[in-house]
Structure 1
Protein backbone atom coordinates (compact mmCIF):
# COMPACT_ATOMS: atom_id res chain seq x y z
CA UNK A 1 0.00 0.00 0.00
CA UNK A 2 1.39 3.37 -0.98
CA UNK A 3 1.39 5.63 2.02
CA UNK A 4 0.41 9.08 0.92
CA UNK A 5 -2.30 11.57 1.65
CA UNK A 6 -5.62 10.03 0.69
CA UNK A 7 -7.40 13.33 1.15
CA UNK A 8 -10.22 14.56 -0.93
CA UNK A 9 -11.69 17.96 -0.20
CA UNK A 10 -14.43 17.54 2.36
CA UNK A 11 -17.72 18.57 0.76
CA UNK A 12 -19.78 18.29 3.91
CA UNK A 13 -19.04 17.87 7.57
CA UNK A 14 -20.78 15.49 9.98
CA UNK A 15 -22.89 16.90 12.78
CA UNK A 16 -21.84 14.29 15.35
CA UNK A 17 -18.95 11.83 15.51
CA UNK A 18 -18.97 9.28 18.34
CA UNK A 19 -15.52 7.86 19.00
CA UNK A 20 -15.61 4.65 21.06
CA UNK A 21 -12.63 3.06 22.76
CA UNK A 22 -12.12 0.24 25.22
CA UNK A 23 -10.20 -2.92 25.97
CA UNK A 24 -10.75 -6.18 24.15
CA UNK A 25 -14.02 -7.84 25.21
CA UNK A 26 -15.22 -4.66 26.91
CA UNK A 27 -18.24 -4.73 24.62
CA UNK A 28 -17.54 -1.88 22.19
CA UNK A 29 -19.07 -3.64 19.19
CA UNK A 30 -22.12 -4.72 21.17
CA UNK A 31 -22.79 -1.17 22.35
CA UNK A 32 -22.11 0.54 19.04
CA UNK A 33 -24.38 -1.93 17.26
CA UNK A 34 -27.19 -1.07 19.67
CA UNK A 35 -26.70 2.66 19.16
CA UNK A 36 -26.61 2.32 15.38
CA UNK A 37 -29.80 0.26 15.51
CA UNK A 38 -31.57 2.91 17.61
CA UNK A 39 -30.62 5.75 15.28
CA UNK A 40 -32.40 5.99 11.96
CA UNK A 41 -30.21 4.23 9.40
CA UNK A 42 -30.42 7.12 6.95
CA UNK A 43 -28.80 9.33 9.59
CA UNK A 44 -25.82 7.24 10.70
CA UNK A 45 -22.89 5.15 9.52
CA UNK A 46 -20.57 2.78 11.38
CA UNK A 47 -16.85 3.25 10.75
CA UNK A 48 -14.13 0.83 11.76
CA UNK A 49 -10.57 2.11 11.54
CA UNK A 50 -9.38 -1.48 11.43
CA UNK A 51 -11.34 -2.19 8.23
CA UNK A 52 -8.80 -0.72 5.75
CA UNK A 53 -6.04 -2.64 7.55
CA UNK A 54 -7.92 -5.93 7.41
CA UNK A 55 -9.04 -5.34 3.84
CA UNK A 56 -5.44 -4.91 2.71
CA UNK A 57 -4.32 -7.90 4.78
CA UNK A 58 -7.05 -10.11 3.33
CA UNK A 59 -6.20 -9.12 -0.25
CA UNK A 60 -2.46 -9.58 0.09
CA UNK A 61 -2.54 -12.78 2.17
CA UNK A 62 -5.54 -14.52 0.57
CA UNK A 63 -7.62 -14.37 3.76
CA UNK A 64 -11.32 -13.87 4.46
CA UNK A 65 -12.06 -10.19 5.10
CA UNK A 66 -15.40 -10.85 6.85
CA UNK A 67 -13.73 -13.29 9.25
CA UNK A 68 -10.96 -10.80 10.00
CA UNK A 69 -13.64 -8.23 10.85
CA UNK A 70 -15.51 -10.66 13.11
CA UNK A 71 -15.19 -11.26 16.84
CA UNK A 72 -13.95 -14.84 16.60
CA UNK A 73 -10.55 -16.51 16.82
CA UNK A 74 -9.79 -16.19 13.10
CA UNK A 75 -8.52 -12.62 13.34
CA UNK A 76 -6.48 -13.41 16.46
CA UNK A 77 -4.15 -15.59 14.38
CA UNK A 78 -3.13 -12.54 12.35
CA UNK A 79 -3.60 -9.72 14.87
CA UNK A 80 0.06 -9.25 15.80
CA UNK A 81 1.26 -9.24 12.18
CA UNK A 82 -1.43 -6.74 11.22
CA UNK A 83 -0.48 -4.52 14.16
CA UNK A 84 3.19 -4.57 13.20
CA UNK A 85 2.47 -3.72 9.57
CA UNK A 86 -0.04 -0.97 10.35
CA UNK A 87 2.32 0.67 12.85
CA UNK A 88 4.84 1.11 10.05
CA UNK A 89 2.19 2.88 7.98
CA UNK A 90 1.20 5.13 10.90
CA UNK A 91 4.77 6.21 11.46
CA UNK A 92 4.64 7.81 8.03
CA UNK A 93 1.09 9.21 8.34
CA UNK A 94 -0.63 8.90 11.71
CA UNK A 95 -4.09 9.62 10.30
CA UNK A 96 -3.84 7.32 7.30
CA UNK A 97 -6.26 4.63 8.47
CA UNK A 98 -8.71 7.12 9.98
CA UNK A 99 -8.97 8.85 6.65
CA UNK A 100 -9.06 5.57 4.75
CA UNK A 101 -12.00 4.41 6.90
CA UNK A 102 -13.92 7.65 6.23
CA UNK A 103 -13.56 7.00 2.51
CA UNK A 104 -14.15 3.25 2.67
CA UNK A 105 -17.50 3.63 4.47
CA UNK A 106 -18.56 6.73 2.46
CA UNK A 107 -19.07 8.46 5.78
CA UNK A 108 -19.66 11.93 4.34
CA UNK A 109 -23.01 10.75 3.05
CA UNK A 110 -24.29 10.60 6.68
CA UNK A 111 -24.53 13.27 9.43
CA UNK A 112 -23.76 10.89 12.34
CA UNK A 113 -20.61 8.76 12.46
CA UNK A 114 -20.06 5.96 14.95
CA UNK A 115 -16.39 4.95 15.13
CA UNK A 116 -16.22 1.73 17.12
CA UNK A 117 -12.49 1.12 17.48
CA UNK A 118 -10.44 4.17 18.49
CA UNK A 119 -7.17 2.85 19.90
CA UNK A 120 -4.57 5.62 19.92
CA UNK A 121 -4.15 9.23 20.94
CA UNK A 122 -3.31 9.96 17.33
CA UNK A 123 -6.77 8.65 16.32
CA UNK A 124 -8.38 11.13 18.71
CA UNK A 125 -6.04 13.84 17.46
CA UNK A 126 -6.87 13.26 13.80
CA UNK A 127 -10.64 13.39 14.27
CA UNK A 128 -10.48 16.44 16.56
CA UNK A 129 -8.13 18.26 14.18
CA UNK A 130 -10.43 17.63 11.24
CA UNK A 131 -13.90 17.81 12.81
CA UNK A 132 -13.55 19.80 16.02
CA UNK A 133 -16.64 20.15 18.19
CA UNK A 134 -18.56 17.47 16.27
CA UNK A 135 -16.39 14.87 18.00
CA UNK A 136 -17.68 13.17 21.15
CA UNK A 137 -15.59 10.54 22.95
CA UNK A 138 -16.80 7.44 24.79
CA UNK A 139 -14.76 5.00 26.86
CA UNK A 140 -16.25 1.53 27.39
CA UNK A 141 -15.06 -0.16 30.58
CA UNK A 142 -15.62 -3.69 31.90
CA UNK A 143 -14.10 -5.49 34.86
CA UNK A 144 -11.34 -7.94 34.01
CA UNK A 145 -13.38 -10.85 35.36
CA UNK A 146 -16.28 -9.95 33.07
CA UNK A 147 -13.97 -9.70 30.08
CA UNK A 148 -12.60 -13.16 30.88
CA UNK A 149 -16.14 -14.53 30.98
CA UNK A 150 -16.58 -13.12 27.48
CA UNK A 151 -13.51 -15.01 26.27
CA UNK A 152 -10.67 -12.58 26.87
CA UNK A 153 -7.27 -14.14 27.55
CA UNK A 154 -4.23 -11.96 28.11
CA UNK A 155 -1.97 -12.18 25.05
CA UNK A 156 1.57 -10.87 25.24
CA UNK A 157 2.34 -8.51 22.39
CA UNK A 158 -1.32 -7.59 22.05
CA UNK A 159 -2.77 -6.65 25.45
CA UNK A 160 0.44 -4.91 26.51
CA UNK A 161 0.91 -3.14 23.16
CA UNK A 162 0.05 0.40 22.09
CA UNK A 163 -3.15 -0.74 20.39
CA UNK A 164 -4.60 -1.75 23.76
CA UNK A 165 -2.81 0.60 26.15
CA UNK A 166 -2.26 3.98 24.47
CA UNK A 167 -5.54 5.45 25.73
CA UNK A 168 -5.29 4.07 29.27
CA UNK A 169 -4.04 7.38 30.67
CA UNK A 170 -6.64 9.53 28.90
CA UNK A 171 -8.96 10.76 31.63
CA UNK A 172 -11.29 13.15 29.81
CA UNK A 173 -14.16 11.43 28.00
CA UNK A 174 -17.55 12.85 27.15
CA UNK A 175 -19.07 9.60 28.42
CA UNK A 176 -17.73 6.58 30.26
CA UNK A 177 -19.84 3.45 29.88
CA UNK A 178 -19.59 0.73 32.53
CA UNK A 179 -20.45 -2.54 30.77
CA UNK A 180 -20.44 -5.26 33.41
CA UNK A 181 -23.46 -7.19 32.10
CA UNK A 182 -25.96 -5.10 34.06
CA UNK A 183 -28.52 -4.53 31.29
CA UNK A 184 -30.59 -1.88 33.07
CA UNK A 185 -27.47 0.14 33.93
CA UNK A 186 -26.18 -0.20 30.37
CA UNK A 187 -29.54 0.86 28.92
CA UNK A 188 -29.52 4.06 31.00
CA UNK A 189 -26.03 4.93 29.79
CA UNK A 190 -26.97 4.27 26.16
CA UNK A 191 -30.08 6.44 26.54
CA UNK A 192 -27.93 9.33 27.82
CA UNK A 193 -25.90 9.19 24.60
CA UNK A 194 -28.98 8.86 22.39
CA UNK A 195 -30.59 11.85 24.10
CA UNK A 196 -27.47 13.93 23.47
CA UNK A 197 -27.50 12.92 19.80
CA UNK A 198 -31.16 13.91 19.53
CA UNK A 199 -30.34 17.34 20.97
CA UNK A 200 -27.49 17.80 18.51
CA UNK A 201 -29.46 16.60 15.50
CA UNK A 202 -32.95 17.76 16.58
CA UNK A 203 -34.17 14.30 15.50
Structure 2
Protein backbone atom coordinates (compact mmCIF):
# COMPACT_ATOMS: atom_id res chain seq x y z
CA UNK A 1 0.00 0.00 0.00
CA UNK A 2 1.26 3.46 -0.86
CA UNK A 3 2.72 5.68 1.86
CA UNK A 4 0.49 8.52 0.67
CA UNK A 5 -1.74 9.73 1.97
CA UNK A 6 -0.54 9.66 5.57
CA UNK A 7 -4.06 10.58 6.72
CA UNK A 8 -7.46 10.64 5.02
CA UNK A 9 -10.01 12.97 6.60
CA UNK A 10 -13.57 11.96 5.74
CA UNK A 11 -16.12 14.76 6.14
CA UNK A 12 -19.84 14.13 6.32
CA UNK A 13 -22.85 16.30 7.06
CA UNK A 14 -26.19 17.43 5.74
CA UNK A 15 -26.51 19.88 2.86
CA UNK A 16 -25.54 23.41 3.93
CA UNK A 17 -23.90 22.19 7.15
CA UNK A 18 -20.64 23.80 6.02
CA UNK A 19 -18.59 20.85 4.75
CA UNK A 20 -17.09 22.72 1.79
CA UNK A 21 -16.49 25.87 3.82
CA UNK A 22 -14.67 24.00 6.60
CA UNK A 23 -12.65 21.77 4.28
CA UNK A 24 -11.60 24.79 2.20
CA UNK A 25 -10.50 26.60 5.37
CA UNK A 26 -8.65 23.49 6.55
CA UNK A 27 -6.80 23.29 3.24
CA UNK A 28 -5.82 26.96 3.55
CA UNK A 29 -4.42 26.25 6.99
CA UNK A 30 -2.55 23.09 5.95
CA UNK A 31 -1.51 24.46 2.52
CA UNK A 32 -1.82 22.63 -0.76
CA UNK A 33 1.82 21.52 -0.52
CA UNK A 34 0.92 18.86 2.02
CA UNK A 35 -2.86 18.52 1.68
CA UNK A 36 -5.52 18.24 -1.01
CA UNK A 37 -9.28 18.08 -1.21
CA UNK A 38 -11.00 15.40 -3.22
CA UNK A 39 -14.71 15.15 -3.79
CA UNK A 40 -16.57 11.93 -4.50
CA UNK A 41 -19.10 14.08 -6.30
CA UNK A 42 -16.53 15.25 -8.87
CA UNK A 43 -16.35 11.98 -10.85
CA UNK A 44 -20.13 11.65 -10.49
CA UNK A 45 -20.68 15.10 -11.96
CA UNK A 46 -18.00 14.59 -14.63
CA UNK A 47 -19.60 11.32 -15.79
CA UNK A 48 -23.10 12.85 -15.65
CA UNK A 49 -21.98 15.90 -17.66
CA UNK A 50 -20.37 13.68 -20.30
CA UNK A 51 -23.42 11.44 -20.47
CA UNK A 52 -25.85 14.34 -21.05
CA UNK A 53 -23.59 16.95 -22.64
CA UNK A 54 -23.88 19.31 -19.66
CA UNK A 55 -21.55 22.05 -18.44
CA UNK A 56 -19.23 20.36 -15.92
CA UNK A 57 -18.08 23.62 -14.31
CA UNK A 58 -21.69 24.61 -13.62
CA UNK A 59 -22.41 21.16 -12.14
CA UNK A 60 -19.36 21.51 -9.89
CA UNK A 61 -20.58 24.90 -8.64
CA UNK A 62 -23.11 25.65 -5.95
CA UNK A 63 -25.78 27.30 -8.06
CA UNK A 64 -29.19 26.54 -9.52
CA UNK A 65 -27.74 24.69 -12.55
CA UNK A 66 -26.58 21.82 -10.30
CA UNK A 67 -29.86 21.82 -8.42
CA UNK A 68 -31.78 21.38 -11.69
CA UNK A 69 -30.02 18.03 -12.26
CA UNK A 70 -29.37 16.90 -8.67
CA UNK A 71 -32.26 14.42 -8.29
CA UNK A 72 -31.64 12.57 -11.57
CA UNK A 73 -27.88 12.57 -10.94
CA UNK A 74 -28.44 11.01 -7.50
CA UNK A 75 -30.67 8.29 -8.95
CA UNK A 76 -28.14 7.53 -11.71
CA UNK A 77 -25.17 7.46 -9.29
CA UNK A 78 -27.10 5.16 -6.92
CA UNK A 79 -27.57 2.72 -9.80
CA UNK A 80 -23.82 2.83 -10.56
CA UNK A 81 -23.09 2.17 -6.87
CA UNK A 82 -25.40 -0.85 -6.86
CA UNK A 83 -23.22 -2.26 -9.64
CA UNK A 84 -19.92 -1.29 -7.91
CA UNK A 85 -20.08 0.37 -4.48
CA UNK A 86 -16.55 1.81 -4.68
CA UNK A 87 -16.72 3.04 -8.28
CA UNK A 88 -16.79 6.80 -7.59
CA UNK A 89 -14.52 6.59 -4.53
CA UNK A 90 -11.80 4.88 -6.59
CA UNK A 91 -12.11 7.50 -9.31
CA UNK A 92 -11.88 10.33 -6.77
CA UNK A 93 -8.78 8.77 -5.16
CA UNK A 94 -6.91 8.38 -8.45
CA UNK A 95 -5.30 11.83 -8.07
CA UNK A 96 -4.29 11.53 -4.40
CA UNK A 97 -0.63 12.48 -4.10
CA UNK A 98 -0.29 14.49 -0.87
CA UNK A 99 0.29 13.53 2.76
CA UNK A 100 -3.17 14.65 3.83
CA UNK A 101 -6.24 13.84 1.77
CA UNK A 102 -9.44 15.68 2.67
CA UNK A 103 -12.61 14.03 1.34
CA UNK A 104 -15.24 16.73 1.62
CA UNK A 105 -18.40 14.81 0.75
CA UNK A 106 -18.75 11.36 2.28
CA UNK A 107 -22.48 10.56 2.09
CA UNK A 108 -22.98 6.79 2.31
CA UNK A 109 -21.97 3.86 4.48
CA UNK A 110 -20.40 2.34 1.36
CA UNK A 111 -18.13 5.41 1.14
CA UNK A 112 -17.02 4.95 4.76
CA UNK A 113 -16.47 1.25 4.13
CA UNK A 114 -14.35 1.92 1.02
CA UNK A 115 -12.04 4.39 2.79
CA UNK A 116 -11.72 2.31 5.95
CA UNK A 117 -10.94 -0.81 3.92
CA UNK A 118 -8.51 1.02 1.65
CA UNK A 119 -6.70 3.21 4.22
CA UNK A 120 -7.35 1.50 7.55
CA UNK A 121 -6.28 3.54 10.59
CA UNK A 122 -5.21 6.41 8.34
CA UNK A 123 -8.91 7.19 7.71
CA UNK A 124 -10.45 9.60 10.24
CA UNK A 125 -14.12 10.57 10.20
CA UNK A 126 -15.58 14.00 10.92
CA UNK A 127 -19.31 14.68 11.12
CA UNK A 128 -20.34 18.31 10.62
CA UNK A 129 -23.60 19.20 12.36
CA UNK A 130 -25.59 22.41 11.96
CA UNK A 131 -29.10 23.22 13.12
CA UNK A 132 -31.89 23.44 10.58
CA UNK A 133 -32.14 27.16 11.27
CA UNK A 134 -28.46 27.69 10.46
CA UNK A 135 -28.76 25.55 7.34
CA UNK A 136 -31.83 27.54 6.27
CA UNK A 137 -29.88 30.76 6.80
CA UNK A 138 -27.24 29.34 4.45
CA UNK A 139 -29.81 28.71 1.72
CA UNK A 140 -31.08 25.23 2.54
CA UNK A 141 -34.58 24.41 1.37
CA UNK A 142 -35.89 20.88 1.80
CA UNK A 143 -36.33 19.07 -1.53
CA UNK A 144 -38.30 15.85 -1.68
CA UNK A 145 -36.31 13.19 -3.50
CA UNK A 146 -33.04 14.89 -2.51
CA UNK A 147 -33.06 15.47 1.25
CA UNK A 148 -35.01 12.33 2.14
CA UNK A 149 -33.00 9.76 0.18
CA UNK A 150 -29.86 7.72 0.81
CA UNK A 151 -27.45 10.42 -0.41
CA UNK A 152 -28.54 12.65 2.49
CA UNK A 153 -29.75 10.16 5.09
CA UNK A 154 -27.60 7.02 4.91
CA UNK A 155 -25.17 8.22 7.60
CA UNK A 156 -27.80 9.60 9.99
CA UNK A 157 -27.63 6.54 12.24
CA UNK A 158 -23.82 6.28 12.30
CA UNK A 159 -22.42 7.04 15.75
CA UNK A 160 -18.80 5.94 15.37
CA UNK A 161 -17.36 9.29 14.21
CA UNK A 162 -13.84 10.16 15.28
CA UNK A 163 -15.04 13.74 15.74
CA UNK A 164 -18.41 15.51 15.69
CA UNK A 165 -18.29 19.29 15.32
CA UNK A 166 -21.13 21.77 15.57
CA UNK A 167 -20.89 24.42 12.88
CA UNK A 168 -23.37 27.12 13.77
CA UNK A 169 -23.33 30.74 12.64
CA UNK A 170 -21.53 31.86 15.81
CA UNK A 171 -19.06 28.94 15.95
CA UNK A 172 -15.35 29.76 16.07
CA UNK A 173 -13.98 28.22 12.87
CA UNK A 174 -10.40 28.18 14.18
CA UNK A 175 -11.59 26.16 17.19
CA UNK A 176 -13.18 23.60 14.83
CA UNK A 177 -10.02 23.41 12.73
CA UNK A 178 -7.89 22.92 15.87
CA UNK A 179 -10.08 19.96 16.87
CA UNK A 180 -9.78 18.44 13.40
CA UNK A 181 -5.99 18.79 13.39
CA UNK A 182 -5.79 16.96 16.72
CA UNK A 183 -7.08 13.88 14.90
CA UNK A 184 -3.80 13.45 13.06
CA UNK A 185 -1.13 15.60 14.76
TM-score (norm 1): 0.87
Aligned to 1:100: 91
* Distance apart, 1:195 and its partner CA: 3.8
Distance 1:11 1:140 in 2: 29
The SS at the match of 1:159 is coil
Aligned to 2:100: 112
Q: Are the equivalent residues in 2 in contact too, given 1:23–1:164 (CA < 8 A)?
A: yes
Alignment map for 1:149-164 (pairs within 5 Å): 149-164=137-152
The SS at the match of 1:17 is strand
TM-score (norm 2): 0.96
Structure 2 stretches lacking a partner, 5+ long: none
* Equivalent pairs, count: 185
Distance 2:62 2:107 in 1: 17
Residue 123 (structure 1) aligned to one of 84, 102, 111: 111
- After TM superposition, the runs of 4+ consecutive aligned structure 1 residues lying more than 4 A away are none
* Distance apart, 1:11 and its partner CA: 4.1
Structure 1 stretches lacking a partner, 5+ long: 1-9
Aligned to 1:91: 82
Aligned to 2:55: 64
* Distance apart, 1:196 and its partner CA: 3.6
Larger Rg: 1
Distance 2:180 2:12 in 1: 15
1:187 paired with 2:178, answer no
Q: Are the equivalent residues in 2 in contact too, given 1:13–1:131 (CA < 8 A)?
A: no
Distance 2:2 2:155 in 1: 31
Distance 1:195 1:147 in 2: 26
The SS at the match of 1:78 is helix
* Distance apart, 1:43 and its partner CA: 0.8
